[in-house]
Amino acid sequence: MEISNPLGNGKFKQVVRELVNAEREPIRQLEARKAKENERLKLFQEFLGKMRKLPEVYKELDSFRKFRELKAEWPAKDQLDVLIDKDIAETGEYQIEVTQLAGRHSMISNGYEDPTDEIGIGYFTYDLPSGETKSVWVGPGNNTLQGLVRAINDERKLGVQASLVNDGSDSGTPWRVVIAGKKAGVDQDIVYPDFYFLDGDFRFYADDERQAQNAIIKFNGFEIMSQGNKFELLPGVTLDLKQAKEDYEFTLSIGEDIAKIAAKVRALVDSINAVLDFVVAQNKLTAESDTSRTLGGDTTLFTVQSRIQTWVFEYFNVDYDDEDAYMRLGDIGITFQKEGNLKFDEDKFKKVLADNFDYVAELFAGEGNFIEQVKEMTQSFLAPGIGVLGSREAGIRDRIRRIDQDIARKEMHIARKEQQLKRQFSQLEGLVNSMQGQQGFLQQAFGNASAAMAGG
């Protein structure tokens, strides 16, 4: 008779693996729960990012000065540029004529045959209107045209700049030095005395000079002067003169930049719609929807959506002196659609804004009005440590952390269980192997006895 044991010969290892795998089923369930929580966390962070975008946009509209955008219009683009500080400037129309640009005092020297011609040793000196005299020493090693230019430009505090130029003449002495003040205006005028350089090849002197002058414009018929070509003509209005043209008067208009304001409002509507579109997408539930993986029906999302809907239909006071002056967002082209988001009629907005700028500005930036409502909601949801969204995110992270802790504990338990099973089955396998050895011995003994009996 043959006795066999199918669990011998190392087959206990497979049994241990199957038992351990069965023990891991609760861990697989925890990992599935964690995967769902991670999906919810990712969605929640996406929603949080869309909410955080709102303050970046509404801060451009949360006061009258920020809401307002100004632009300057004038026909003489070749004569000047206009820079507007919208926080200071006021709207208006002004008559402008550019009659003279500001200029720096400059001089050009007599000509030399070559830049390396020596001009001698001595001092380059000049006087300022203040009575101050400035000078630079020209000694051995820099007593050429090139050396003079280098010596002047190395002295940064002199207030002048030197250039070596070729005048393009056929005179045989085309190389000259041009020296000019760094600042324009008559207050920066320079007086060049005679230059005394000893032992030079030729006498160095100022061949021609151009006097410093102020910029002159006519403002509404009155002459205005400036030391420089760029100056603040009006509070918040800076002119940068480029070309003079006498007897050419033009109109400079400073007014509201309707298109730029509309662009800022559109940016706000787009940011709100990003939030609303996310809410709508999460709430599109079907019989097959797994709400454990989405934010469908989430109370936080519902609260945000309902607050925005309230703003659209709310009446806001737009004139503190008139308690009956009210406007809704719909009056300026912002309406709620059946799809669950906002529509912005830009043409309607621009028309209403052009017709009644102050009312529309108040609708957005006034105390307790639209932007303040948006700001209040976002701050309550986003406030660090106490905001609703931060608390919700922390809650999801806590659940993930607890699942990780449960998985770690169960992994340790399984590891201990696996070691215990291995010890037990190792002992059992040794016993089985021993029994199988005895089985072989008995089979051989019985075989020998049977053979002896058959031979006898």
CA dihedral in degrees (84, 90, 91, 95; nearest 10)? Answer: -80
When pLDDT is cut at 50, 70 and 90, the band that residue 266 belongs to is very high
Residue 43: predicted pLDDT: 87
Whether residue 358 is contained in a domain is answered as: yes
φ/ψ (deg, to 5) at 210: -125, 125
Residue 442: predicted pLDDT: 60
Residue pair 143/119 in contact by the 8 Å Cβ criterion: yes
Q: From CA 342, how far away is CA 109, in angstroms rounded?
A: 71
- Looking at the fold, whether 249 and 359 belong to one and the same domain comes out as no
Residue pair 109/204 in contact by the 8 Å Cβ criterion: yes
Residues 6+ apart with CB under 8 A from 360: 318, 327, 332, 349, 352, 353
Q: From CA 409, how far away is CA 218, in angstroms rounded?
A: 86
- Looking at the fold, whether 271 and 363 belong to one and the same domain comes out as yes
- Looking at the fold, whether 277 and 357 belong to one and the same domain comes out as yes
In the numeric block, which tokens belong to residue 201? 């090849």
* Distance set, CA 159 to CA 104, 150, 186, 318, 444 (Å): 11, 14, 14, 56, 119
- Looking at the fold, whether 192 and 334 belong to one and the same domain comes out as no
Count up the domains in the chain and report the number.
3
- Looking at the fold, whether 301 and 430 belong to one and the same domain comes out as yes
The strand pair at 250-256 and 70-73 is best described as antiparallel
- Looking at the fold, whether 89 and 110 belong to one and the same domain comes out as no
Average pLDDT value for residue range 314-331? 91
When pLDDT is cut at 50, 70 and 90, the band that residue 67 belongs to is very high
Query: Which tens digits make up the pLDDT trace of 199-246?
Result: 777 788 888 888 889 999 999 999 999 999 999 999 999 999 999 999
Whether residue 447 is contained in a domain is answered as: no
Q: Is it the case that residue 26 has pLDDT exceeding 60? A: yes
Of residues 283, 326, 333, 334, the one with CA closest to residue 305: 283
Whether residue 448 is contained in a domain is answered as: no
When pLDDT is cut at 50, 70 and 90, the band that residue 420 belongs to is confident
Whether residue 453 is contained in a domain is answered as: no
- Looking at the fold, whether 64 and 74 belong to one and the same domain comes out as no
Residue 317: predicted pLDDT: 93
- Looking at the fold, whether 417 and 387 belong to one and the same domain comes out as yes
Q: Is 414 exposed, middle or buried (0-12, 13-18, 19+ CB in 10 A)?
A: middle
Task: Identify the three-state secondary structure at position 179.
Answer: strand
Of residues 77, 94, 1, 3, the one with CA closest to residue 436: 3
Q: From CA 11, how far away is CA 75, in angstroms rounded?
A: 96
Residue 176: predicted pLDDT: 93
- Looking at the fold, whether 321 and 371 belong to one and the same domain comes out as yes
Query: Which tens digits make up the pLDDT trace of 345-397?
Result: 999 999 999 999 999 999 999 998 999 999 998 888 888 766 777 787 888 88
Q: Is it the case that residue 128 has pLDDT exceeding 80? A: no
| Final residue of a structural domain among 195, 223, 256 | 256
Whether residue 293 is contained in a domain is answered as: yes
The strand pair at 215-219 and 206-210 is best described as unpaired
Q: From CA 433, how far away is CA 440, in angstroms rounded?
A: 11
- Looking at the fold, whether 245 and 96 belong to one and the same domain comes out as yes
Whether residue 450 is contained in a domain is answered as: no
Whether residue 434 is contained in a domain is answered as: yes
Average pLDDT value for residue range 86-115? 92
Of residues 377, 281, 352, 399, the one with CA closest to residue 34: 399
Residue 11: predicted pLDDT: 63
- Looking at the fold, whether 286 and 394 belong to one and the same domain comes out as yes
Residue 3: predicted pLDDT: 41
Residue 5: predicted pLDDT: 47
| Final residue of a structural domain among 210, 226, 244 | 210
Residue 238: predicted pLDDT: 97
Task: Identify the three-state secondary structure at position 341.
Answer: coil
Domain of 311 in residue numbering reads as 1-69+257-439
Q: Is it the case that residue 432 has pLDDT exceeding 70? A: no
Which region holds residue 126: left if phi is over 0, alpha if psi is between -120 and 50, else beta? Answer: beta
Q: From CA 225, how far away is CA 96, in angstroms rounded?
A: 13
Residue pair 202/110 in contact by the 8 Å Cβ criterion: yes
Residue 304: predicted pLDDT: 87
Whether residue 455 is contained in a domain is answered as: no
- Looking at the fold, whether 92 and 116 belong to one and the same domain comes out as no
| Final residue of a structural domain among 183, 210, 237 | 210
pTM attached to this predicted model: 0.70
